[in-house]
Amino acid sequence: MIISIWRYSHLLLAISSSLFIVIASITGSILAFEPISNQLQPFAIHNLDEISITEMVTALQSEYEEIIDVSVTNDDFVIASVITQEGNSETFYIHPSSGKKVGNLIEKEGIYKFATNLHRSLFLKSTGRFIVGFVSFLLLLIIITGTILIAKRQGGFKRFFSKVVKEDAKQYYHIQLGKLCWIPLVIITLTGVYLSLEKFSLLPNYKVTHQAVEASETAKKHIETANFSIFQNTMLAEIKTIEFPFSEAPEDYFLLELKNKELVIHQYTGEILSVYEYPIVALASYWSLLLHTGQGSIIWAIVLLLTSFSILYFMYSGFAMTLKRTKKQHIPKNIYKKSTAKFIILVGSETGNTYRFASMFFDALIANGQKAFITQLNTFETYENAEHLIIMTATYGEGEAPSNAKNFLSLLKKTSFDQKIKYSVVGFGSLMYPDYCKYAIDIDQSLQGHKNFEATIPIYKINNQSFTAFENWANAWADYTKIPISIKKPTANINLKKLREFKVIKRSRLNIDDTFTIHLQPVKKQKFQSGDLLSIYPEKDLIERQYSIGKIGNEIILSVKKHEFGICSSYLSQLSENDIVKAKIKRNPEFHFPKYANDIIMIANGTGIAPFLGMINENTDARNLYLFWGTRTKASTAIYKEILDESIASDRLTNLHISYSQETTQKEYVQDAIATQQNFIAQVLQNDGVILICGSVAMQNQVLHILETIIKSKLCMSLSDFENNEQILMDCY
Amino acid sequence: MKNTKFILASIFSILFIGMLTSFTAVENSKYKCMIQMKNYTGEGAYVVISLINNQGEYQQTLYVQGNDDEWYSDITEWWKFHGKRRPDIDAITGETISGGERKISIIEIPNDKIDAGYKIRFETAVEDQEYYTDDVEFELTSQSVKSKVEGKGFIRYIRMIPQK
């Protein structure tokens, strides 16, 4: 499978430099503690901008025999090297106002020495330095390719920082963290590269040169050092080092190094004899060092620490994703030749998820004894015996084709068939992107206009890899073609021992439409919320079934429809009070009761009402809740009547609208009810209200269609805007 | 028999310790020493200041500019002397000196080594560049300890004056 050049380089760069990057980030995170612990020492002088050189020199001169030099570190410590009254040469931290010693120099601890060495040169001296410099450069390339990947995925650089669709936890956090740490990451690598370039003298050279220093006028009056105007006017915050004259000879001078220049000062007259301004390169080195090491700022050092950790996470999640992807990309082996196959499945997949679904469909056809052939869209050609073409494709970025499908449309123009072929297109995508299933739509349109192809069931779009939606499509396709295939749901990879126990509190009788409610209570205390999912794995087949949870008090309320041959629903329908159910709660933060919205519209059909029953119960701060619920007949409301009546009476539910689809009079679907409330819906969305949808995928699609129309006509915006804004939340099956 | 051996050993060791103390009892004098580097490019230079006897052998390390001992073995001549015993030189160690920079440090020299044929040697080495065994080397006399001496390698000159 061809993957995009960016992803390929991103991966290749990461693999080739992984070992070094791991070393660099581990040692980097150790080293981040050095400036932090230094800053926590009590030696920092916080009013350096108020103390002049004169003040310090006066204090030092009265305190010591002689001063060699004084320097101010990046951590705002002042170090003086002096000859004490006893004649000893000593170097220590001082307080510049008193000149008194405040502490001995912090000795670089062994661990930091070790980490610095490893970080900078891998203990390989110059060779190591070169490797580290080169790897920093590779890391920079990794960041660039990563940035391009995110931008492509998000659909343009403008959307770089907009919300990421959560398909897979590792992938999600890889991207989120990448966005979050983007700036510090770029700074770390750029400064790292810069510092390496400097080490290898690859930057323009600069030489500190002072004009031949000559005391201009010996006749000039000697003045006290303390009265030098340059010393009176320069604050310690500006200086790096001040070196005192070597001897009393008049040609010996003060050397004053400031942040941006250095000055030579006559030791008796205070005259500035020479000035050397540092070039840009020198200032850049100074800043690179500060930014790369975090010296002088605890906060930045902590940011660097976290960024080092994040790099480790990138390595882990990146490789885990690649491994998973290579597994996912396991394309089933074709048993039949393309020339003999009746069914051709063409796949367009960027990340391999679509392949997973295509394989299930392929397996189902093969299990049914059909001659099926599966391949990627890019290899499209003439298939002599094909009768059915099934195209499953994702969309990448801004409505573009996934990389293994890019050539399909042009191939289609070139390829001709002797026979008529029936086709069906399935698009995989996420409603959070503006170009939802765009590429599938493009393919569908091109096929419509093609003389060799004949439509079967209309294009089918699948949001966020919903298995149920996929199953629905497969059933529709099977109905149309009269080929009774059944998609085998992959067995859950679950450790049954980790399941929790839930006690049945009560179960309603079977309603007229075969639905019932069941109240469960976790045996051990557990955190959950309405909108979370309860996964149940019946012993018979161990296939996961999920039910949306409504939380009332500490109880879970589920609404279940009993299917005639449904293993799980039958099992639940036979439970009685105090029975124990083993299950697992899956947090579903994308479908929780909105914390801040004032107006909340809840749309459900059938058993999709369950989470809303819990949410209504949660509405204790008098927010406006509107429930639109679709069900079959008036009789089907029986099992919910008590709760709903109570909700209205207690004012926790502002308005309830029930649509009956099977009543003889006044047939209405829930989407029809929505369609009559256009102004209301638009107003709620405009006032930052939230719409929640729970129920069947069919209902979801209808409702979304209507919402889109309303949003376009009334608000001139698009559905995905509100979805990105978390104003439309969905949990459909 | 054993006892005599032990007594002998004790006597010798006492004598030896006595000799040592008599050596260290010699007064040291402090000198201010400034090293001014040439404007070379590249890493900071390691500068080792040593005391050399009249046979040309290393006697004592007076100061080391450069505190990353990973590189000490690259200062090969000195390393042959220092590397064998590796005495603690933390108190007389500073940072490397880059091109164009100057550095003032205080070194201590035993008084009996002045005007006695002993030499002071400044050895320099820069990563991936030359190594100068005797960048600066001169005999220690009461005149030379307050003079300025030009260097042959990375050092432009050194200046020394006795500390009052």
Higher pLDDT, A186 or B13: A186
**Residue B124 is assigned to a structural domain of this protein:** yes
Please spell the DSSP secondary structure of A571-600, one letter per residue: HHHT--TT-EEEEEEE--GGGSPPSS-SEE
Among A65, A67, A68, most B C-beta atoms within 10 A, so best to mutate, is A68
Among A209, A247, A253, most B C-beta atoms within 10 A, so best to mutate, is A247
Q: Which residues of A touch B27 (CB under 8 A)?
A: none
SS3 A502: strand
Q: Which residue of A has its CA nearest to B74?
A: A125
Tell me the pairing of strands A101-104 and A89-94. Answer: antiparallel
**Residue B157 is assigned to a structural domain of this protein:** yes
Q: Which residue of B has its CA nearest to A70?
A: B104
Cβ A87–B99 below 8 Å, yes or no?
A: no
Which structure tokens are listed for A414? 């070139």
| Dist CA A91 CA A630 (whole Å) | 83
- pLDDT tens digit string along A524-539? 988 999 999 998 887 7
Provide CB contacts within 8 A for B6, sequence distance 6+: none
Q: Which residues of B touch A87 (CB under 8 A)?
A: 30, 163
The closest CB to that of A201, out of B39, B41, B71, belongs to: B41
Confidence category of residue B150, pLDDT binned at 50, 70, 90: very high
Segment holding A22, helix H or strand E: helix A5-31
| Dist CA A34 CA B129 (whole Å) | 31
Q: Which residues of A touch B161 (CB under 8 A)?
A: 246-247
SS (H, E, C) A323-355: HHHHHHCCCCCCCCCCCCCCEEEEEECCCCHHH
Superfamily of domain A332-481 in CATH is: Flavodoxin domain (3.40.50.360)
The radius of gyration computed from the CA coordinates of chain B, to the nearest angstrom, equals 18
Using a CB–CB cut-off of 8 Å, the residues of A that contact B are 66, 68-69, 81, 83, 87, 89, 113, 117, 123, 125-126, 199, 201, 205, 207-209, 243, 246-247, 255
| Dist CA A11 CA A315 (whole Å) | 10
Q: Please check whether the domain covering A496-732 is classified as CATH 3.40.50.80.
A: yes
- According to the model, what pLDDT value does residue B110 have? 92
Q: Which residue of B has its CA nearest to A200?
A: B42
The closest CB to that of B30, out of A81, A89, A201, belongs to: A89
Reported ipTM: the value is: 0.76
- According to the model, what pLDDT value does residue A217 have? 55
Q: Which residues of B touch A83 (CB under 8 A)?
A: 30, 106, 163
Cβ B39–A246 below 8 Å, yes or no?
A: no
**Residue B12 is assigned to a structural domain of this protein:** no
Segment holding B135, helix H or strand E: strand B131-139
Provide CB contacts within 8 A for A685, sequence distance 6+: A691, A711, A715, A722, A727
The closest CB to that of B104, out of A69, A113, A208, belongs to: A69
- According to the model, what pLDDT value does residue A219 have? 54
| Dist CA A406 CA A300 (whole Å) | 44
> Which pairs from B53-60 meet CB under 8 Å and 24+ separation?
B53/B117, B53/B118, B53/B119, B54/B116, B54/B117, B54/B118, B54/B119, B57/B81, B58/B82, B59/B113, B59/B118
Q: Which residue of A has its CA nearest to B146?
A: A247
Cβ A125–B161 below 8 Å, yes or no?
A: no
* Location of structure tokens 């179960």: A507
* Location of structure tokens 């809303």: A612
Cβ B70–A125 below 8 Å, yes or no?
A: yes
| Dist CA A9 CA A257 (whole Å) | 46
Q: Which of A546, A541, A621, A636 is nearest to A584 (CA)?
A: A546
Q: Which of A286, A313, A49 is nearest to A176 (CA)?
A: A313
- Give the dihedral sign, CA A522/A525/A527/A529: positive
Cβ B102–A199 below 8 Å, yes or no?
A: no
Which structure tokens are listed for A650? 């207690």
Longest dimension (CA), chain A: 118
Q: Which residue of A has its CA nearest to B99?
A: A207
- Residue A221 gets the label, from left (phi > 0), alpha (psi -120 to 50) or beta, of beta
CB contact burial B56-79 (16+ within 10 A = b; e otherwise): eebbbbbbbbbbeeebbeebebbb
Query: What's the distance, CA A25 to chain centroid?
Result: 20
Residue B8 has pLDDT above 70, yes or no: no
- Cβ atoms of residues A486 and A364 within 8 Å: yes
- According to the model, what pLDDT value does residue B149 have? 93
- According to the model, what pLDDT value does residue A2 have? 43
Q: Which of A694, A676, A728, A418 is nearest to A531 (CA)?
A: A694
- According to the model, what pLDDT value does residue A531 have? 92
Distance from CA of A112 to the nearest CA of B (A): 12
For A471, list phi and psi in degrees, rounded to 5. -60, -40
Cβ A246–B42 below 8 Å, yes or no?
A: no
- Cβ atoms of residues A609 and A629 within 8 Å: yes
| Dist CA A572 CA A567 (whole Å) | 9
Cβ A125–B42 below 8 Å, yes or no?
A: no
- A507 class by beta-carbon count within 10 Å (0-12 exposed, 13-18 middle, 19+ buried): buried
User: Tell me, what DSSP letter sits at residue A713?
Assistant: I
Q: Which residue of A has its CA nearest to B100?
A: A208
User: Tell me, what DSSP letter sits at residue A81?
Assistant: E
Cβ B71–A207 below 8 Å, yes or no?
A: no
The domain spans of chain A are: 5-37+111-203+294-323, 43-105+207-278, 332-481, 496-732
| Dist CA A129 CA A434 (whole Å) | 47
Q: Which of A220, A230, A223 is nearest to A54 (CA)?
A: A230
Using a CB–CB cut-off of 8 Å, the residues of B that contact A are 30, 32, 34, 39, 41-43, 68, 70-71, 99-102, 104-106, 127-128, 159, 161, 163
Cβ B127–A125 below 8 Å, yes or no?
A: yes
The closest CB to that of B163, out of A69, A83, A126, belongs to: A83
**Residue B91 is assigned to a structural domain of this protein:** yes
* Location of structure tokens 């391009």: A148
Q: Which of A577, A607, A643 is nearest to A511 (CA)?
A: A607
Q: Which residues of B touch A213 (CB under 8 A)?
A: none
The closest CB to that of B128, out of A126, A208, A247, belongs to: A126
| Dist CA A457 CA A455 (whole Å) | 6
Query: What's the distance, CA A513 to chain centroid?
Result: 43
Please spell the DSSP secondary structure of A127-165, one letter per residue: HHHHHHHHHHHHHHHHHHHHHHHHHHHHTSGGGTTSPPP
- Cβ atoms of residues A174 and A454 within 8 Å: no
- From first CA to last CA, the distance across chain A in angstroms is 31
Q: Which residues of A touch B102 (CB under 8 A)?
A: 243, 255
Residue B22 has pLDDT above 60, yes or no: no
Cβ B127–A126 below 8 Å, yes or no?
A: yes
Distance from CA of B49 to the nearest CA of A (A): 17
Q: Domain of B44?
A: 27-162
Average pLDDT, chain B: 85
Q: Which of A449, A353, A362, A471 is nearest to A404 (CA)?
A: A353
Cβ B102–A69 below 8 Å, yes or no?
A: no
Q: Which of A522, A506, A516 is nearest to A566 (CA)?
A: A516
Segment holding A680, helix H or strand E: helix A678-686
Among A71, A89, A254, most B C-beta atoms within 10 A, so best to mutate, is A89
Size of interface A-B (CB pairs under 8 A): 48
Q: Which residue of A has its CA nearest to B129?
A: A126
The closest CB to that of A208, out of B30, B43, B100, belongs to: B100
Distances (CA, A) of A150 to A154, A310, A320: 6, 17, 18
For A574, list phi and psi in degrees, rounded to 5. -100, 0
| Dist CA A555 CA B119 (whole Å) | 91
- According to the model, what pLDDT value does residue A1 have? 39
Q: Which residues of A touch B106 (CB under 8 A)?
A: 68, 83, 89
Query: What's the distance, CA A381 to chain centroid?
Result: 39
Q: Which residue of A has its CA nearest to B127?
A: A126
Which structure tokens are listed for A90? 């000593």
The closest CB to that of A205, out of B41, B128, B163, belongs to: B41
Low-confidence ranges of chain A (pLDDT < 70): 1-3, 165-167, 201, 207, 211-220, 327-330, 491-494, 540-542
The closest CB to that of B104, out of A123, A199, A246, belongs to: A246
Provide CB contacts within 8 A for A351, sequence distance 6+: A171, A325, A328, A394
| Dist CA A549 CA A606 (whole Å) | 14
The CATH number linked to B43 is: 2.60.40
The closest CB to that of B30, out of A87, A125, A247, belongs to: A87
Cβ B104–A123 below 8 Å, yes or no?
A: no
**Residue B10 is assigned to a structural domain of this protein:** no
Q: Which of A645, A603, A605 is nearest to A626 (CA)?
A: A603
Q: Which residues of A touch B70 (CB under 8 A)?
A: 117, 123, 125
Cβ B100–A126 below 8 Å, yes or no?
A: no
Q: Which of A519, A502, A513 is nearest to A642 (CA)?
A: A519
Q: Which residue of A has its CA nearest to B105?
A: A68
Please state the domain count of chain B.
1
Segment holding B133, helix H or strand E: strand B131-139
For A614, list phi and psi in degrees, rounded to 5. -70, -40
Cβ A87–B71 below 8 Å, yes or no?
A: no
